[in-house]
Amino acid sequence: MSKRALITGVTGQDGSYLAEHLISQGYQVWGLTRGQANPRKDRVSRLIPELQFVDGDLMDQGSLVSAVDEVQPDEVYNLGAISFVPMSWHQPELVTEVNGTGVLRVLEAIRMVSGLNKPAASHATSGQIRFYQASSSEMFGMVAETPQSERTVFHPRSPYGVVKTYGHYITRNYRESYGMYGVSGILFNHESPRRGAEFVTRKISLAVAQIKLGLQEKLCLGNLDAVRDWGFAGDYVRAMHLMLQQDEPDDYVIGTGEMHSVRDAARIAFECVGLDWEQYVVVDPKLVRPAEVETLCADSSSARKKLGWEPEVDFSKLMQMMVESDLNQAQLARDYKAVLAGARW
């Protein structure tokens, strides 16, 4: 019998890669989607025809109970969130509802459908619905040590980071309170050609493509000195799956262990198309955050040892993959516009 998985956030970057990975492993996969005409549902459905859908919203407890009851999953991956950090200063209450209380609602849905009401000691983890929570390196914030491991103290610097820390601890608490098989992956930044255009790497790769084709003149960025540990999303979803295959639930840090600045990211991306980044990048102080996370770097030795996980794509290859993809798409769009401009109807 094939395993059944339910993914929240299936229309996002990670959700789509995870769905593809699980399907390649023989799973039946359902994605939770919200809204009455979500264009991102159509897009992921075209990309992954085998994917099935169930309605639901992290803001709506009843919809989550119904989704878990309908799908009867072996594994639930909670990737749904408002994931753009600056939004959490503009709409902190909404971000708390979706990214924080939303985690609690999924845990409650699993608890209710599985009938997990008794204290931890009375439950065996085998045969349970297994739960994955998308925790974040933003929880480390103002870092107490470099690199950061599962033992590093959290000091989040954004409402997003604070709320993710709640999601992290409530997952651990359900493990301790009810013996639930719940784990959190503390994932560092991961990117891909499917990354949202608001995040810095994709903002850069999209601009490089436009500038190369003469369609844009400048790229405005914020803090060029911010340092991140950037990996490839396709590598990171393998780690999510591995975490739920262990005998005992545990939390893991996932990252490459390599540090690069936003400046490095811009330089490498422009080099991919033979341009000098300094001719095009402009710093816009409005893009600098109220409280910044300056430096992040993962110590993933536990995941490498216990899960046997290794990233396969390094930072240069990642930036090259993103620039090539955006350049191809920009060229296609430009050619299509040229054809339309010349067409006689």
Q: d(Cα 74, Cα 2) in Å, to the nearest integer? A: 10
Alpha carbon 71 to its chain centroid, in Å, reads: 23
Which strand (E) or helix (H) includes residue 335? Answer: helix 315-342
Give φ, ψ of 307 to 5 degrees: -95, -15
Q: Return the closest-CA partner of residue 167 out of 116, 119, 132, 115.
A: 132
Nearer to ligand NDP by Cβ, of 191 and 211: the residue is 191
Contact 79, 8 (CB under 8 A): yes
| Interaction residues for ligand GDR, span 2-41 (CB under 6 A) | none
Quick check: helix, strand or coil at residue 48?
Answer: coil
d(CA 138, CA 64): 26
> Does the annotation mark 256 as catalytic?
no
| 203 scored as a contact of ligand GDR (CB under 6 A) | yes
Is 136 a binder of ligand GDR (CB under 6 A)? yes
Number of residues that bind ligand NDP (CB under 6 A): 27
| Cβ atoms 31, 48 nearer than 8 A | no
Q: Are strands 28-33 and 4-8 parallel, antiparallel or unpaired?
A: parallel
- Contacts of 198 by beta carbon, 8 Å cutoff, 6+ apart: 84
Rule CB under 6 A: say whether 189 interacts with ligand NDP. yes
Per DSSP, helices labelled H in 72-179 are 87-90, 92-95, 102-114, 159-178
Per annotation, catalytic residue among 11, 96, 165, 171? 165
The verdict on 85 binding ligand GDR (CB under 6 A) reads yes
75 lies in the binding site for ligand NDP (CB under 6 A): no
Contact partner, 13, from ligand NDP, ligand GDR, none, Cβ < 5-8 Å per class: ligand NDP
- Choose, by CB under 6 A, the member of 6, 12, 29, 253 that binds ligand NDP: 12
Among 43, 153, 196, 301, binds ligand NDP (CB under 6 A): 196
Work out whether 190 is an interface residue with ligand NDP (CB under 6 A). yes
* Both structure tokens of 137: 């390196």
Q: Does residue number 297 form part of the binding site for ligand GDR (CB under 6 A)?
A: no
Q: By CB under 6 A, is residue 201 in contact with ligand NDP? A: no
Closer residue to ligand NDP (CB): 13 or 256: 13
Check binding of 292 to ligand GDR (CB under 6 A).
Answer: yes
Total of residues contacting ligand GDR (CB under 6 A): 21
Among 138, 229, 251, 264, binds ligand GDR (CB under 6 A): 138
Identify what 117 binds: ligand NDP, ligand GDR, none; CB under 5 to 8 Å per kind. none
The CA dihedral of 76, 82, 85, 86, to the nearest 10 degrees, is 180
DSSP H or E run through 252:
strand 252-254
Site for ligand NDP in 114-173 (CB under 6 A): 134, 136
Angle, CA of 61, 77 and 312, to the nearest 5°: 155
Residues engaged in binding ligand GDR (CB under 6 A): 83, 85, 136-138, 188-189, 198-200, 203, 221-223, 226, 228, 262, 287, 289, 292-293
Q: Which residues bind ligand NDP (CB under 6 A)?
A: 8-15, 34-35, 38, 40, 57-59, 79-83, 98, 134, 136, 187, 189-190, 196
